[in-house]
Amino acid sequence: MANTPEITGPISQEDIEAAEKFKNEANEYFKKQNYNSAIEYYSKAIEKNPNNAVFYANRSIANLRLENFGYALIDASKAIELDKCYTKAYYRRAAAHMSLGKYKLALKDFEYVTKVRPNDQDAKKKYNECNKIALKIAFEKAISVDKKEVNIADSINLDAMTIEDEYEGPEMEDGKVTLKFVTELMEFYKQQKKLHKKYAYKILIDVKAYLQKQPSLVDIKVPDEAKFTVCGDIHGQYYDLMNIFKLNGLPSETNPFLFNGDFVDRGSFSVECIFTLFSFKLLFPNHFFMSRGNHETLDMNRMYGFRGEVTSKYTSQMADLFTEVYNWLPLAHCINGRVLVMHGGLFSKDDVTLDDIRRVDRNKQPPEDGIMCELLWSDPQPMAGRAPSRRGVGCQFGPDVTAAFCDRNGLDYIIRSHEVKNDGYEVAHDGKCITVFSAPNYCDTMGNLGAFITMNGKDLTPKFTTYEAVPHPDVKPMAYANSFFSLLCQ
């Protein structure tokens, strides 16, 4: 995002007209869901005429679509500074606050609009809805404090759950996940059918018990001649996940995988994705790995659909259990001591070591700063040094930061995910920072390819396989997302 230009004098009519032209071009890109180009042209409009609040508000919504919540917040605030009665700018800022879990700040924006426009029924409605959400979350937090000793996994009575005679789906054998179970489950899900709740709960309880014994940084040993695959974000795109397995083979002891976070949210088949992945984790615990992403968190799941999807397909109790399980997902993996894989990126401090990651107490919701937060949220930048994150969480780190981190920790390079890339992957920072993103045509709108990385244990040279999105049933992305949030982002 371009910096806000300094206003040095009166703006010419020529610049005002040029700015309008850039804005109109940006609007066309926005309609085509090409948000990066839209941002570029809104920025050009701002350079020509930095006094127009609409340009900032429009760039704010484009940044929201790209999950650049920090930049969206800055732009909305600038629009408000220029026009204190500009309702849409308050809505944009509220959406950015809500995306960052700052519900009280979002509420303040709506409260202000209702004061300056007391007859605006739409503003009043949004205020009331936001207030409901804030009160509900405050209530949930109060309950969680009161019940923090309660272990949901231990409170589930599987024996009391009966398998009905009419259930025709996959079944565990002696309470265990088998290859037959997973194979049948994947086909069952393709037909849009639902796994029995008894097996669903059993998977979650067993996965949690396994993950609790794992360190925050898992070391993976890949033999010299063995193949290893790393996948990025899946985001509930179940049919694209199936395509990965079609292209690369099913996970097995001779075909190990690492899925690098953001298995859920956005896409509306997140339940199917996560139970398939967790089943493979139980089937091949030493050859199938899963890192936590920033969307394996409560605030993200509330806003972007996973919690709503689980509650719709099962129960709110199961949604709470997922939160409990996600808290135990490892934060990073190190392949043969030479390649570090994490969802987000590197750190705001220079002296972080692999041992520091190993020592992180991960059984919690991510804090707003520090190692755990940055592993889940940070992004690379082409410039040297560091910068505040455009997302409003984590940091941005340059090639010098990556090189120094790799040197300090004896690494060849790092792999991370977290960002849509047109080709499904990007090699940056002189080959030392690789991004892989495995959800093609993200949210049915971005038009990007998906990708996964394969390597052998000897030289660990990354090879990239890219692929297009495959058809899926007519269930739109964000179908289970918080409807109020969707309303704000119109």
Q: What is the layout of strands, in order, in the sheet containing 395-397? A: 379-380, 395-397, 386-388
Is 295 a catalytic site residue? Answer: yes
Q: What are phi and psi of 467, to 5 degrees?
A: -160, 155
Q: Which long-range contacts (CB under 8 A, 24 or more apart) does 169-178 make?
A: 169/193, 169/194, 169/195, 169/196, 169/199, 170/195, 170/199, 171/199, 172/199, 172/202, 175/202, 176/282, 177/203, 177/206, 177/279, 177/282, 177/283, 178/283
Q: What is the layout of strands, in order, in the sheet containing 227-231? A: 288-290, 257-259, 227-231, 450-456, 463-467
Rounded Cα distance between 128 and 115, Å, is 13
Structure tokens at 370: 């520090």
Rounded Cα distance between 48 and 22, Å, is 9
Rounded Cα distance between 430 and 413, Å, is 10
Using DSSP's 3-state secondary structure scheme, residue 252 falls into strand
- Residue pair 452/466 in contact (Cβ under 8 Å)? The answer is no
Candidate list 196, 295, 333, 429, residue with the active-site label: 295
- Residue pair 434/462 in contact (Cβ under 8 Å)? The answer is yes
Rounded Cα distance between 204 and 462, Å, is 32
Structure tokens at 364: 């919690």
Structure tokens at 480: 């289970």
Determine the distance from the C-alpha atom of residue 321 to the mean position of all C-alpha atoms in its chain, rounded to a whole number.
19
Using DSSP's 3-state secondary structure scheme, residue 259 falls into strand
Rounded Cα distance between 426 and 422, Å, is 9
Point out the residues that are catalytic.
295
